[in-house]
Structure 1
């Protein structure tokens, strides 16, 4: 699976997966109820920790989606597979592992 069409599909699949993960974690990011009658203090603290971790994970997913969008733009501009720093070709194995990689191994 090589070429711009294959790269586009891999990137679109990755983006769809990241969006699905983000949507499935919506419940964990909701505000924590402060009613001590229904939830004990430790349970509330646990919930707050889960909420903070979910927000951090969502921020990482959003950053990854931005990387994927940038890679899709490079596909559209016929610049996919070329390092944004030095202009040299990005190794095929590197793009296989990370299809949104913007830099070659030397510049990364």
Structure 2
């Protein structure tokens, strides 16, 4: 991987981190408990609780991805960055551009 490709990936990671921070902030507002005395109807309340559950799942996944992106940012200058931890082949720059936190190539990720 060239230094220019690494710089492009670094920029992508930083942008993704900022986007995730904003998303996490928004989701944290959406998953606040729904008070029992809320003036919603019974079905509307159940729908709100279902939506809250979905938002909790997205929030959890966003936090995990944020941690992975931060770790990728710490690893980007290391020689093993962009090398698959399974087969030790280079991870394609296309994959790294889309999912810069990747530690496995497409083939190994499919087998995992």
TM-score band, normalised by shorter chain = 0.7 to 0.9
Higher helix share: 2
Q: Alignment RMSD, CA only? A: 1.9
Q: Counterpart of 1:13?
A: 15
Matched, 1:3 2:19: no
- In the alignment, the residues of structure 2 paired with residue 43 and residue 103 of structure 1 have an alpha-carbon distance, to the nearest angstrom, of 43
- 5+ long unaligned stretches in structure 1: none
Specify the alignment match of 1:82 in structure 2.
Answer: 83
CA distance in 2, matches of 1:25, 1:71: 23
Corresponding position of 1:62: 63
Secondary structure of the structure 1 residue equivalent to 2:76 = helix
Please say which of residues 1-10 and 52-61 is displaced more in the overlay: 1-10
Alignment gaps of 5+ in structure 2: none
TM-score (norm 1): 0.85
TM-score normalized by the length of structure 2: 0.83
The aligned length equals 107
